[in-house]
Amino acid sequence: MSEDIVFGRNAVREALLSGRTANKMLIAKGDRKGSIGEIITLAKSQNIDVREVLYSKLDEIVKEVDEQANHQGVVLYVSPIEYFEIDDILNLAKEKGEPPFVIVLDSLTDVHNIGAIIRSAECFGAHGIVMNKKRSAPINAAVLKASSGAASYMEIARVPNIVSAIKELKDKGLWVIGADMDGQRADKVNLKGAVALVIGSEGKGLARLTKENLDMIASIEMSGAISSLNASCAASILMYEKRRQDML
């Protein structure tokens, strides 16, 4: 069976709590400070083999995934992430008795942006993420670390074509809204109810065909010298605005 890794204390802890299948955990030799004791207890309660290795060995393992990664003294070997279909995400919303809220990522390639968006999506009650199969970064260990473990709880669908996915979401009754500087101010856009929020790529933003198939475009009013936010910051602000409107 092929394996992925999860590293970083929050990411590993959440992977263990979510019930993701794992059979081996490596910890830095002599490190028992902070939350590592709880993590070891969780792993052993699930009959996961816990081994001590040199800190430098953990450095070597994680830097194959992300040169800037900080493993915080722990690496967990897990089964590959399970991907879902759009219908699975919509059915989850139905089971919860909630209008579906979906985040669509249009060709994002930065693993830290993707991880941060997944973390915000989980915090603000999104039911799932839809992203490209080919033109997006994979959900790997760096994404799991950047999401602080939220990716272990989020249903993620990888689709061959974002425009087709948008059309499917519209056919299923969702209002599809893109994030772009040229849109209407977000607090003036109706974000209540069944919504798919589309976030464009880091460099180019929303693709032309994506824009042409949206119901509405929402923007974030800026007042500083810099006129734009990165994708994860913009996504978080718009998710918060949706939650704010839903609570009115």
Across the chain, which has 248 residues, the per-10-residue mean pLDDT values are 80 91 92 85 94 94 83 92 94 98 95 94 97 87 87 94 97 97 94 97 90 96 80 96 96
CA distance 89 to 82: 13
Closest C-alpha to 191, from 205, 178, 208, 172: 178
Cα 119 to chain centroid distance, Å, stands at 5
Structure tokens at 30: 């002599």
H helical segments located in the chain: 9-17, 36-45, 55-62, 86-96, 111-123, 141-146, 162-171, 208-212, 231-246
SS3 category, 111? helix
* pLDDT for position 2: 53
Angle at the Cα of 126 from the Cα atoms of 121 and 127, rounded to 5 degrees: 125
Hey, what amino acid is at 239?
A: M
Residue 139 contacts residue 147 (beta carbons within 8 Å): no
* pLDDT for position 136: 87
CA distance 34 to 121: 27
Strands (E), 101-236: 101-105, 128-132, 155-159, 175-185, 195-199, 216-219
Element (H, E) at 75: strand 74-78
Q: What are the φ and ψ backbone dihedral angles of 86, each rounded to 5 degrees? A: -60, -40
Angle at the Cα of 172 from the Cα atoms of 166 and 177, rounded to 5 degrees: 40
pTM: 0.86
* pLDDT for position 12: 94
Hey, what amino acid is at 248?
A: L
The set of residues, in sequence order, having a beta carbon less than 8 Å from that of 226 and lying 6+ positions away, is: none
List Cβ<8 Å contacts ≥24 apart for 169-173.
Answer: 169/86, 169/102, 169/104, 169/130, 169/196, 170/213, 170/215, 172/86, 172/90, 172/100
Q: Which domains does the chain have, with CATH numbers?
A: 4-78 (3.30.1330.30), 86-246 (3.40.1280.10)
CA distance 170 to 183: 19
Residues making up the chain, counted from first to last: 248
